[in-house]
A and B are shown apart, each in its own frame.
Chain A
Amino acid sequence: MDYDEAAPGDPIIVAYTAALVDTASGGEDSWQLHLLRLECLKALTVAGSTQLYLSAPSAAIGIHPLMETLFISPVKERAPALVGAILRAFIARPAPPRGTPLFTPPPAPAQASAATSSSASIVGYVSSATVSLFTAPYRAAQWMLSTGSGPSSSPLADAALLLLLTLLHQPAPGAQPAVPSVHPFRQALVALRDAADVKDEAEEAEGGHAVAASAAARVPYSALYTTLSQTLTDEKSTLLLYSLLQASRRSLDPGWSPSWL
């Protein structure tokens, strides 16, 4: 059975993809838009993660319908746009707008157990109150000065990076060992173009390759380079750097050079 002739895929996955691609950030987002994009990224990550722990390269078609939807039409055709939107979110690293109702994880178990274990004694009450009294100014200053900037305070960028890595390193549904298969997200990464390179786009449009040129994802290489260099302490960023280098090799082999660097 031809894979594209199977069921059209889960409509909610198609809707999530459209929401991400069609609501690309143009600057200061409202908290509603920011939250929408964050939830779409997380939902797609969960959908694409269902078979990462399989011993086989990939499950048979029909086993993981959510994940398979990502690899068939209409999502497949939007793979370059999706990869571009995800990379731009990673590069921009937008902080959550003020008032975004983000989930705050509960206190660490050590602190919780210390609180509960000391609650039985008056000494525990006094010591925890004293600590709170002395650390209150520090915590207040920390909260006031928190601008939301920096790699650790952009949940949207972190979620975008995780989704991109999940999509890139997910085998295509029904993939067999040593048998080439079409992977739309890897192809989109191989065809990645520099957004600053406007001249290439104009030449390709004149040469009748407008469709191919517009289909390729475009991101600012310089900003991507800077962001990667700032976030290498995170293993996921290092894996993205590796994936980009591998994609560069495939696009320019032989005599390759990492053109995006």
Chain B
Amino acid sequence: MCRTDLDLLLLPLLELLYNMPQRTNSHVYMLLIVLLILSQDRSFAQNIHRMQIPHVAWYKERLLHNISLGSLLVIILLRTAQYNLSKMHDVYLQTNTLAALANLAPHMSGLSGYAAQRMIQLLDVILRKITRITRGLEAKAAAQQQQEGAGAAPVQPSQQQALELQVFSDFLRIVLEILNSALTSALPANPDLVYALLHRQELFEASPRCRHRSNWLWRASVAWEAPPLQSCGSTGAP
């Protein structure tokens, strides 16, 4: 992937994904699969973080100035994933989006603070959904026990609840693997990501469903104590 004008192809593609509600489902699928294929190329995943975009005019939610193409790609993918979780509920679309992020994760470098914040935001959304489902099950179990007494049979989740829980657990696992991969492979190059993690570390402490939280807390503490990070400090700026 030796082209120096990757933005010529990627910027229109990302703008189309940004305006996803105006596109047909088939078009969105194809765009994501194209990104997925591109993300599998190591040189592509590395080069996009070296290209700076002066200004992204079509991105309305925040002013993006002097942002790397890689960070913009991550932001759009995270935005797509979040939009899908809240509106479309399409497992195929979510899987492809997270797969592209997983491919890009080991090569992330200089990820912007805004991209890092959005990543943690996605993690928060998935954890909230899992918490909502499990609390619903617990409330159902408590109500049944109150009615039938101590000898009540354990409450079985409905098929839909079980499927939802499985799907969101898989999404959570993938997002945690993405963060794991980014921290393992490029920790000193992504101080804003570490800052965003430490800023929201309560996500891991408060969630009993996060089976990987002890692993994550360990990694975060290692990151904080690592000499290269202490010397450069984190910017926290988008």
Select A242's contact among B9, B12, B24, B34, beta carbons within 8 Å. Answer: B34
With A and B bound together, what is the CA distance between A111 and B41 in angstroms? 50
With A and B bound together, what is the CA distance between A245 and B31 in angstroms? 12
Chain B: how many interface residues by the 8 Å CB criterion?
Answer: 20
Residue pair A242, B33 in contact (C-beta under 8 Å): yes
Which A219-243 residues sit within 8 Å CB-CB of chain B?
Answer: 225-226, 228-230, 232-233, 235, 238-239, 241-242
Residue pair B27, A238 in contact (C-beta under 8 Å): yes
A258: which B residues are within 8 A, CB to CB? 1, 37-38, 41, 44
Select B9's contact among A225, A233, A249, A257, beta carbons within 8 Å. Answer: A225
Chain A: how many interface residues by the 8 Å CB criterion?
Answer: 19
Residue pair B37, A228 in contact (C-beta under 8 Å): no
Check A228/B27 contact, CB under 8 A, given A242-B37, A245-B38.
Answer: no
With A and B bound together, what is the CA distance between A230 and B9 in angstroms? 8
With most chain A CB atoms within 10 A of its CB, the pick from B24, B41, B43 is B41
B41: which A residues are within 8 A, CB to CB? 256-258
Select B3's contact among A232, A233, A261, beta carbons within 8 Å. Answer: A261
Residue pair B1, A261 in contact (C-beta under 8 Å): yes
Residue pair A257, B1 in contact (C-beta under 8 Å): yes
Residue pair A229, B38 in contact (C-beta under 8 Å): no
Residue of chain A at shortest CB distance from B42: A257
With A and B bound together, what is the CA distance between A205 and B37 in angstroms? 33
Q: A119 on the interface (CB 8 Å rule)?
A: no
* Main SS class of interface, A: helix
Residue pair A239, B9 in contact (C-beta under 8 Å): no
Select A238's contact among B1, B6, B34, beta carbons within 8 Å. Answer: B34
Select B16's contact among A232, A242, A261, beta carbons within 8 Å. Answer: A232
Min CB–CB distance B144 → chain A (angstroms): 47
Residue pair A229, B37 in contact (C-beta under 8 Å): no
The 8 A CB mask of A17-58 against B (1 = contact, 0 = none) is 000000000000000000000000000000000000000000
Q: B13 on the interface (CB 8 Å rule)?
A: yes
Q: B26 on the interface (CB 8 Å rule)?
A: yes
Residue pair A229, B8 in contact (C-beta under 8 Å): yes
Select B30's contact among A225, A238, A261, beta carbons within 8 Å. Answer: A238
Besides A233-B16, A257-B41, 5 other A-B contacts (C-beta < 8 A): A233-B12, A242-B33, A245-B38, A258-B41, A258-B44
The interface of chain A, by Cβ under 8 A from chain B, is 225-226, 228-230, 232-233, 235, 238-239, 241-242, 245-246, 249, 256-258, 261
4 smallest beta-carbon distances between A and B, as pairs = A229-B9, A238-B30, A245-B37, A235-B27
Give 7 A-B contacts (CB < 8 Å), ordered by A residue. Answer: A228-B9, A229-B9, A233-B16, A242-B33, A245-B34, A245-B37, A261-B6
